[in-house]
Each structure stands twice: as structure tokens, then as C-alpha cells.
Amino acid sequence: MSTTDRRPALAVGTEEPGQPVEGRSPWRLAWDRLRHDRVAVVCAVFIGLLVLVAVLAEPISMLVGYGPTQQDRTGGITTDGLPTPPSPHHLLGTDNLGRDILVRIVYGSQVSLLVGVGAAVAAVVIGVVVGLCAGYLGPAVDTVLARLMDVVLSFPFLLFAIALVTVAGPSELIEIAVIAFFSWAAVGRIVRGQTLAIREKEYVEAARSLGAGDVRIMFVDVLPNLVAPVIVYTTLLIPVSIVFEATLSYLGVGIIPPTPSWGNMISDSQNFYQVAWWFLVFPGLALVLTTLAFNLLGDSVRDALDPRTEFRGR
Amino acid sequence: MVRFLVRRLLTGILVIWLISVIVFGLYFVAPHNVATLLLGKFAAQDQQLVASVTHQLGLDQPIRVQYGHFVVRLLHGDLGYSYYSHQPVTTLLAQALPVTASLAIGAAIIWVTLGVLIGVLSATRPRSFLDRGATLFALTGLSFPTFVLGLLLLYFLFYRLHVAGVDFFPGGGYVPLTQDPWQWAVHLILPWITLAVATMAVYVRLTRGQLIETLGEDYIRTARAKGLRESRVTYRHGLRAALIPIATQFGIDVATLLGGVIVTEQVFGLNGLGRMSVQAVTNSDEPVIIAIVLLAAVFVVAANIVVDLLYAVLDPRIRLS
């Protein structure tokens, strides 16, 4: 890759000519790149709003006037017992039991964010610790842990996740555990590869000659150099976990009805989508927009943290 | 080469064995009694019957012994009987396999060819309209959960067209290839698209990134300098080097494929392995679940060995050892 004709990444393009040159840390540079990335800002705002909606689910449902499992038997269901289309009473329509879809989507966002973020964070923590150990502690530990990661990665994971949830009984915590269990190995592999390279660096040798123990070197000298890929991976793992959760709920082994989750709403809609498009489209849209926002943000974060990326105000 | 194959086969068998132990173990911590389940209302009336059925199934023996019996039977090609339908598991697998194979192989062909092709087109025209379109498509495709995409396709291409008087796409179901090849394909178009789109997006991005990097190499300049046609430079010199990471990705995706198959079969009502496994889980039909998990593990391991062999074909510099 030729870099000769490129402007150095330092020239972020925000400073006026003639201003004194100001030293900026790599984190500051990454932050500046991210701030000027319009797509990233839009996605971050969307995710911020979503978090707000999830936190304020109860006030919102009081404002709308219906609870998440409350059945509106008078205006929320036709005389044939079918869902009613969007109207001033039910802005996004109702489902087959006369429940307000807007309120259920709002409550569903709690599940998606909780399980999605929880599972991604858990997977990253496990993956980082196992990856560090595999990469740092030498060939014997490495062989065992690398083989373990191979086994986890070659599991038919959705099938096994279904089996696991059925045995353990569905709940949010079990869902987080199952998703994390099948996601950490990918993180572990990346961290292991990077650690193998970093442990040979001079500064690690220096730390060791100063008498630092293995644990200290792993977490104080090696880990900070892995923060960038780990942040990127976490952002990209969240949408994967959200989809995973929705899939489990869709297949009937996730969140137990009547508690709303986007997955079980879409599953309920499968028998009614021909007469009630809103029943399928709105929860589907919520799910797609959320994963899209996290994916785009993750992409931008990767670009921003990569020192080779040129700054361009997209 | 032979040593490599032997070693890979041995580790492959180790992985499959580990998975079989885990799956087998999982079902013995399951909080239910198979005999009670099988006997239904008779169980409550007759405790002796429950005990005798448990004994008949060998479930009263220690788990070590049960696993031993299971392995011996497995090596004789006997996977036991379904608790639910009382048919041999091998018969059930044989019925479901053609459906899943049709779905998975067709989708894989679509995502690899289209994904690589779109990736090449956008890499050779960076920052063009087509490139931006492809990137947008890839990111959107990645964000569409399989079941949402499948249901939306059903709504628009089956139901809306059906209402409009066009009955081209069926609303689900499966027609065997041997019975009517045309209907087979028509019934599978929407499932193929559903299963392929998300994975295809990965290939578009991967091919584009790899190819852009490869096309900057010196040997590509040399190839152009000696007067080769641009298409030959792109496909023979450039793409060939980019194929290695694509092959790696394919190995990874095989494991993910089964997950997509489960959801796609559920959406389109195809009675393949995926749907069978979900039903087996709901019915606590352990012999069927264990068989499907093992079959899937064998498949994943085999696919990864094939991918490793492919490396040597794609890049003669790689020596398998």
C-alpha cells in the first residue's frame, strides 16, 4: 500500500492556517474524526434516542395510554378479532390481541438493548481474558485454549443455543449467557493473535526485566495496546447479539410472551402479516434500523481508530 | 500432504467427539423424565410402567454406560429411534437432508458468485456510484435479520403479488427436485435470497477490500505494463490473490449456515433439518437433536478441511504441513 502521496493523518483539517500547532493524542484524533463523520453522528444520535426510549418506556406507555400487555378490547380489535390498522388511538396499530404496537416496540427496545449490550460486553470480557492468556502464557496454555476456541467456533451454535435455552429455561440472563458463550471465541482469536505479536516487543521485555509479573504485564503492558480493536469489535458485536436475541425470541426460546420483545412480536405477526402489515413491518423496522445504526457506527469507529485513515468530512 | 490430512482428520474427530460429549451430557441434566413424557397420561397411573420403559430405553444406567452404548450404535450407523415419532433417526434425517441441501447449496452458490462479482465491480470502480450503492447494499444486507427479510419478501413478493393477481412465487413449501425441477427452483427462490443476502454482504465487503489492496501491488502494474487486458489483470492476477481470505471466510460461514437454515426453513415452512431440529427441541426428542448436532459438526469440520486444501490450490506457495 503506497502512502507517499497521502496527507499525514495528523492534518485533521480543522485548524486554521497560522494557528499554533497543537499536540493531540491518538484518542483525541480519533474522536475528532468521529465527530466529523456525519453518518457516525446520525447513528450515535439514533442510538442515544433509543436508549432514552428504553429508559423512559414506562412514562411513554402512560402517555400513550396503554400498557405493554394491556388488551384494548373495544378499539384495538375488529369485530372479526383481527388487528386494527394505525389510527390516532393506536399510532402504529394493534396486534392480534388488541395490544398497542408502539408501546410494545418501546418495551421491546429494553430487551434488545439489555441483552444485546450485555451479551456483547460479556463476550468481549471473556474473549479478552482468554485471548490474553492464550497469547501470552506460552505454547502449552495456547494449544489448549486455541483448540477450545476452535470447538466453540465449529459448534452449530444456533441449534445448540436453542437446546441450551430449552434445558435451562428461557430468561434474559440465560439468553445473555448463551449469546456470550458463542461469541467470545471470535474475540479471543483476534486478541490472541495481537498478543502473540505484542509479547515479543521490547517494552514487554523491559517490563519483565524490571520485575513485573505475568498478570501485570498482561493487563498493564499488553492490554492497553489492544483497546482499539476491542472497542471496534464490541461495537460490531452489539448488533450481532441483538439479532441473535431477536432470533431466539422469534423461534420461541427467548423472551417468554406476553413480555414484548421485537423477536416474539415478529413471530406473532407471522400468522397475520397478510391482513395486518403493520404488525410485521414496525417491529421489523425497529430491529433493522437499530442493527443498521450499530453497524454503521462500528464501521465509523473502526475508520476513526485506524491511523491510516485519511480525514475526510463525508 | 498426507500427514497434513491425517492430522486434520484426527483433530476433526477430536472436535466432533468433544461436541458429542457436551450434547450428550446436556440432555442428562435436562429436568424431565423421558418415560413420563412418552407415556403421557399413563405415567400418572402406573409408576411401574414408567420404571419399565426407563429400563427398556436404558435410561436407568449410569451416563457413562449410556454414552458407551450410544457410541457403539453410532459406529454401526444406528442413531436410535425418535422418542416422538418412533421412526429410526436415520430415516428422519434422510427425509430432511435433501431439503436442507437444496436450500444451503443453492444459497451458497448465490452468495459466493454474486458477492464476489459485486465486490470486484465496486473495487475496480472505487468511489463510483456503483461502489457506493454496493457498500450501502452490503451494510443494509448485514443489518437485516434473516427472519425479517424472509417475512418481508413473503409479504411483498408472495402476498402483494398474489393480491395483484400474479401467482409466481409460492408462499412456502418444498417440491422435490426429482419430481419437478422447475417447481423445485421456483419454491426455493425466496428462501435462497433470504439465506444468501446477509452472507453475500460480507463477501462484497471482503472482496472489495482485498482487491483494492491487491490492485495496488507491483505485479499488477507489471501485468498492465506488459499489455494484458484489464479484465485479465483483474480476474486472473488480482482476484486470485484475493481469493484466499474469501476461502477462509467461507469456512467460517459454513458453521453459521446451519443457523440461517433453521430460521429460513421456519419462515418458509420447509421441512428440512433446521425445522426438524426446532421441533425436536420443543418435543424434547433427544436422539434427533443429538443426531442433528453431530451431523452439523461433521459437516463443519469437513468443510474446514476442504477449505485448508483449497488454500494449496489457490496459492501454490502454500505448503500443507
Chain A residue numbers with beta carbons less than 8 Å from the beta carbon of B145 are: 243, 246-247, 287-288, 291
Percentage with pLDDT > 90 across chain B: 10
Q: Which B residues 236-265 touch A at CB under 8 Å?
A: 252, 255-256, 258-259, 262-263
Whether residue B255 and residue A155 make contact (CB cut-off 8 A), yes or no, is yes
Query: What is the Cα–Cα distance from B201 to B138, expressed in whole angstroms?
Result: 4
Whether residue B293 and residue A292 make contact (CB cut-off 8 A), yes or no, is no
Chain B residue nearest residue A250, CA to CA: B147
Q: Evaluate whether B251 touches B304 at the Cβ level (below 8 Å).
A: yes
Whether residue A163 and residue B289 make contact (CB cut-off 8 A), yes or no, is yes
> What distance in Å separates residue A157's CA from the closest CA in chain B?
7
* pLDDT reported for residue A105: 92
- What amino acid occupies position A67? G
Chain B residue numbers with beta carbons less than 8 Å from the beta carbon of A246 are: 145, 147
Q: Identify from A42, A112, A155, A235 which residue to disrupt to test chain B contact, counting B C-beta atoms within 10 A and taking the largest count.
A: A155
Q: Identify from A105, A112, A154, A265 which residue to disrupt to test chain B contact, counting B C-beta atoms within 10 A and taking the largest count.
A: A154
Chain B residue numbers with beta carbons less than 8 Å from the beta carbon of A269 are: 151
Q: Evaluate whether B6 touches B14 at the Cβ level (below 8 Å).
A: no
> With an 8 Å Cβ cutoff, is B202 touching chain A?
no
pLDDT level of residue B71 (50, 70, 90 thresholds): confident
Summarize pLDDT for A183-213 with one digit per residue, the tens: 898 889 888 888 888 888 888 889 989 988 8
What lies within 8 Å, CB to CB, of A27 at 6+ separation is none
Summarize pLDDT for B110-167 with one digit per residue, the tens: 999 999 999 998 888 877 888 888 888 888 888 888 889 999 888 888 888 888 887 7
Query: What is the Cα–Cα distance from A48 to A20, expressed in whole angstroms?
Result: 35
Tell the burial category of A20 from Cβ atoms under 10 Å away from its Cβ (0-12, 13-18, 19+).
Answer: exposed
- pLDDT mean over B59-66: 77
Query: What is the Cα–Cα distance from A226 to A230, expressed in whole angstroms?
Result: 6
Whether residue B297 and residue A2 make contact (CB cut-off 8 A), yes or no, is no
What is the full DSSP assignment across A215-231? HHIIIIIIGGGGHHHHH
C-alpha cell belonging to residue A270: 407471522
> With an 8 Å Cβ cutoff, is A62 touching chain B?
no
Mean per-residue pLDDT over chain A, rounded: 82
> What distance in Å separates residue B229's CA from the closest CA in chain A?
23
Distances (CA, A) of A163 to A159, A264, B92, B279: 6, 18, 19, 11
- pLDDT mean over A131-141: 88
Summarize pLDDT for B8-40 with one digit per residue, the tens: 888 888 888 888 888 787 766 665 666 666 666
* pLDDT reported for residue A44: 92
- pLDDT mean over A63-85: 79
Q: Identify from A158, A248, A288, A296 which residue to disrupt to test chain B contact, counting B C-beta atoms within 10 A and taking the largest count.
A: A158
Domain boundaries, chain B: 2-89, 96-319
Place of cell 452404548: B69
Task: Give the nearest partner residue to A239 out of B30, B143, B304, using CB atoms.
Answer: B143
Q: Evaluate whether A242 touches A117 at the Cβ level (below 8 Å).
A: no
Counting Cα atoms < 13 Å in the Cβ hemisphere of B321 gives 3
CATH number of B96-319: 1.10.3720.10
Whether residue B19 and residue A155 make contact (CB cut-off 8 A), yes or no, is yes
Task: Give the nearest partner residue to B142 out of A162, A270, A295, using CB atoms.
Answer: A295
Chain B residue numbers with beta carbons less than 8 Å from the beta carbon of A189 are: none
Whether residue A288 and residue B144 make contact (CB cut-off 8 A), yes or no, is yes
Summarize pLDDT for B178-196 with one digit per residue, the tens: 888 888 888 899 999 999 9
Chain B residue nearest residue A294, CA to CA: B143
Percentage with pLDDT > 90 across chain A: 21
Residue B268, SS3 per DSSP: helix
Summarize pLDDT for A26-67 with one digit per residue, the tens: 788 888 888 888 888 999 999 999 999 999 988 888 888 888
Class of domain A43-71+90-305 as given by CATH:
mainly alpha
- What amino acid occupies position B25? G
* pLDDT reported for residue B28: 66
* pLDDT reported for residue B43: 64
Q: Is the confidence at residue A309, as pLDDT, over 60?
A: no
Q: Give the predicted TM-score (pTM) of the model.
A: 0.81
- Dihedrals φ, ψ of A208, to 5°? -65, -40
Radius of gyration of chain B measured on its C-alpha atoms? 24
Q: Evaluate whether A115 touches A172 at the Cβ level (below 8 Å).
A: yes
pLDDT level of residue B99 (50, 70, 90 thresholds): very high
Summarize pLDDT for A87-114 with one digit per residue, the tens: 887 888 888 888 888 989 999 999 999 9
Whole-complex ipTM: 0.77
